[in-house]
C-alpha cells in the first residue's frame, strides 16, 4: 500500500505540495523530516499521513507555543 502526505493551510483547506509516494510509513516520515521546513515556508501548516485513502495521523508544522 502506498503512503503519501496531504498538505493543509491555516484554514484547513488543501494546499498544493509535492506528489510524493512512499513504499513504507518510515520512508514517508523520513521524507517529511527532511522537507517540513520548505513546506512550512510555502504556506503548509499541517500535514496528514495517508495509507492509500486512510488517514494515519495529522501533524502540525507550526512551531510549538511557548
Residue ranges covered by each domain of the chain: 3-60
Nearest to 25 by CA among 59, 48, 2, 55: 2
Give dist(CA 38, CA 49) in Å, integer: 17
Which pLDDT band holds residue 1 (cuts at 50, 70, 90)? confident
Give dist(CA 43, CA 2) in Å, integer: 25
pTM, two decimal places: 0.90
Q: What is the pLDDT of residue 66?
A: 52
Is residue 34 classed as helix, strand or coil in its secondary structure?
helix
pLDDT in tens, 41-57: 999 999 999 999 999 99
Give dist(CA 47, CA 37) in Å, integer: 12
Give dist(CA 61, CA 56) in Å, integer: 16
Amino acid at each position: 500500500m502506498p503512503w503519501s502526505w496531504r498538505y493543509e493551510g491555516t484554514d484547513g483547506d488543501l494546499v498544493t505540495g509535492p506528489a510524493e509516494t512512499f513504499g513504507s510509513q518510515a520512508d514517508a516520515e523520513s521524507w517529511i523530516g527532511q522537507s517540513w521546513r520548505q513546506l512550512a515556508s510555502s504556506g503548509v501548516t499541517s500535514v496528514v499521513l495517508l495509507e492509500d485513502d486512510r488517514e494515519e495521523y495529522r501533524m502540525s508544522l507550526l512551531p510549538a507555543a511557548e
